[in-house]
């Protein structure tokens, strides 16, 4: 083992510095400073190069993390990028937004007293360096194939599949109802976690590789699903899930109670220079208002931190369980707390006060009960524990469900589960319609970007296998 590795015993963990709270809480720029080359090499050298790398095992993409950490520690950054990008289509994005504390870093075998390797920060540094040095090239195929693939959805799953299939020579067309590529990467995730130039430069690379994008095209409105099937050899459905889960109770229909994605999309579009009427009118703008966000996932964290930056007078996050049981990243919770967000744990909304617009959230304290079948503790209200929280805007961040695609697209043969997700053969990703595949959140349910990338890559491999067999059969005839 080279002397430059195994330094976790002598080198402390150090993440890239954050910008000061007073500076970062008033803009939408990313909050982390860049690593220097020396700092990245030093942090990478902390890797123990263990025989069974739990970091790789617990990464949905099974990235070869110890390998590119070793290459980084040796200053071989171009090779580190090659290894990193061999299993991940968008390492610069995963390095920024993956919840490493729950995945790779959270499963690092280094003893907890020494703290894990800062894997995500090194991944981001390596890929940003690769872009700066011009090492990142479009993946153009060595030979062209006649078969064409239509991909519905330009989010991370669809884009990963598109790049994989284009590299194999297929004629790839991506359809998306939005005007920019990226899906939630561009309109759902705020700039302080993922600056939009990072996504847009990937779009350019994919176009240079020969992928054709049809933006502003909605299936069922601008082109029928049947016509799309006629145009392409195979279809991949990678729409993601966008329908916000609703919130019931008295007063739930009052003005000022808004879905998280509407709020985040308005903020992101405004940051990109678009004119958003609901933002300009104040309907989707937290400036000068008391904000209550309901939910405990990463989307809730995006909402509270966005509200802070818009100049809300107060921002509170209401979650029915305690901090230890929160599904969101603890790193994001810490960032939100630093920026002035108040968390009200073990509390749930019961009703909403106001005449035409919301003025307060009627809240009840909760307590943890017995574990359910999944091992998670149930929650139950504490009798007589009601209290009100003043609010001018209430943001519902309770998760997302799939839209009814068979109905929207007029294709009853597309089968869905009881949760509304696409039914597929989980070995091949194929739906019950021949030649139609599905992957990502539309199959899995709302999940992480890294899982969408994994599903997109796996679906692409399955589609390639099927089309290769089909092409061989045609040639034999």
Give per-residue pLDDT as tens, 308-333: 999 999 999 999 999 998 888 889 99
Degrees, nearest 5: CA angle 447-451-452: 85
Domains in the chain with CATH codes: 7-133 (1.10.1060.10), 148-241+402-476 (3.50.50.60), 247-396 (3.50.50.60)
Residue 477 reports pLDDT greater than 50:
no
The chain-wide mean pLDDT, for the chain, equals 94
Q: Tell if the pTM clears 0.75, that is, is over it.
A: yes
**pLDDT of 241 strictly over 50:** yes
CA distance 416 to 469: 27
DSSP string, 144-158: --S-EEEEE--SHHH
**Is residue 1 over pLDDT 50?**
no
pLDDT digits (tens, 9 = 90+) for 343-355: 999 999 999 999 9
pLDDT in the model for residue 375: 78
Burial of 158 per CB tally in 10 Å (0-12, 13-18, 19+)? buried
Rg of the chain (C-alpha set): 23
What does residue 14 show for φ and ψ, rounded to 5 degrees?
-145, 120
Residues 6+ apart with CB under 8 A from 158: 151, 152, 174, 176, 183, 236, 238, 440, 456
Minimal CA–CA distance to 58: which of 113, 109, 114, 115?
Answer: 109
pLDDT of residue 371: 82
Q: In what order do the strands lie in the sheet with 342-344?
A: 257-259, 393-396, 290-294, 314-318, 342-344
Return d(Cα 156, Cα 451) in angstroms, integer: 9
Torsion of CA 200, 203, 209, 213, to 10 degrees: -150
In angstroms, the CA 19 to CA 58 distance is 30
- Categorize the per-residue pLDDT at 3 as very low, low, confident or very high, splitting at 50, 70 and 90: low
Q: How far apart are the first and last CA of the chain?
A: 56
d(Cα 297, Cα 329) in Å, to the nearest integer?
Answer: 8
pLDDT tens-digit map of 134-160:
999 999 999 999 999 999 999 999 999
Percent of the chain with pLDDT over 90: 89
Place of tokens 């703008």: 285
* Tens-place pLDDT, residues 264-289: 999 999 999 999 999 999 999 999 99
**How far apart, in whole angstroms, are the C-alpha atoms of residue 331 and residue 424?**
35
pLDDT at 472: 54
């Amino acid at each position: 083992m080279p002397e430059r590795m195994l330094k976790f015993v002598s080198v402390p963990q150090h993440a890239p510095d954050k910008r000061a709270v007073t500076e970062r809480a008033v803009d939408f720029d990313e909050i982390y400073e860049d690593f220097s080359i020396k700092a990245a090499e030093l942090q990478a050298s902390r890797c123990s190069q263990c025989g069974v790398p739990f970091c790789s095992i617990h990464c949905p993409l099974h990235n070869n993390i110890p390998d590119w950490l070793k290459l980084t520690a040796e200053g071989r950054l171009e090779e580190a990028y090659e290894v990193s990008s061999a299993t991940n289509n968008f390492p610069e994005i995963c390095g920024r937004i993956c919840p490493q504390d729950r995945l790779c870093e959270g499963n690092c075998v280094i003893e907890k007293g020494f703290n894990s390797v800062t894997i995500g920060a090194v991944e981001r540094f390596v890929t940003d360096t690769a872009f700066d040095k011009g090492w990142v090239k479009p993946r153009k195929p060595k030979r062209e194939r006649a078969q064409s693939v239509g991909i519905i959805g330009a989010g991370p799953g669809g884009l990963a599949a598109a790049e994989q299939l284009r590299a194999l020579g297929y004629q790839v067309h991506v359809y998306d109802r939005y005007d920019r590529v990226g899906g939630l990467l561009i309109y759902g995730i705020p700039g302080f976690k993922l600056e939009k130039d990072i996504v847009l430069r990937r779009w350019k690379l994919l176009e240079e590789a020969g992928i054709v994008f049809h933006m502003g095209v909605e299936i069922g409105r601008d082109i029928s699903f049947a016509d799309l099937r006629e145009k392409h050899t195979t279809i991949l459905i990678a729409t993601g899930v966008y329908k916000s889960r609703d919130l019931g109770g008295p007063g739930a229909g009052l003005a000022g109670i808004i879905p998280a994605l509407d709020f985040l999309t308005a903020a992101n579009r405004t940051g990109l220079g678009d004119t958003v009427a609901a933002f300009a009118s104040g309907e989707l703008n937290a400036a000068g208002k008391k904000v209550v966000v309901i939910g405990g996932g990463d989307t809730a964290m995006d909402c509270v931190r966005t509200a802070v930056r818009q100049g809300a007078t107060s921002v509170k996050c209401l979650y029915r369980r305690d901090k230890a049981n929160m599904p969101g990243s603890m790193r994001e919770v810490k960032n939100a707390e630093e920026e002035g967000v108040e968390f009200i744990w073990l509390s749930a909304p019961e009703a909403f006060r106001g005449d035409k617009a919301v003025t307060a959230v009627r809240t009840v304290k909760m307590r943890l009960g017995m574990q359910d079948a999944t091992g998670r503790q149930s929650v139950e209200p504490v009798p007589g524990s009601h209290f009100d929280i003043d609010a001018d805007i209430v943001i519902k961040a309770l998760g997302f469900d799939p839209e009814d695609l068979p109905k929207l697209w007029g294709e009853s043969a597309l089968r869905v589960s009881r949760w509304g997700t696409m039914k597929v053969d989980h070995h091949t990703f194929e739906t019950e319609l021949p030649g139609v595949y599905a992957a990502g959140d539309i199959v899995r349910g709302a999940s992480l970007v890294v899982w969408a990338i994994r599903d997109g890559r796996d679906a692409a491999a399955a589609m390639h296998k099927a089309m290769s067999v089909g092409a061989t059969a045609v040639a034999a005839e």
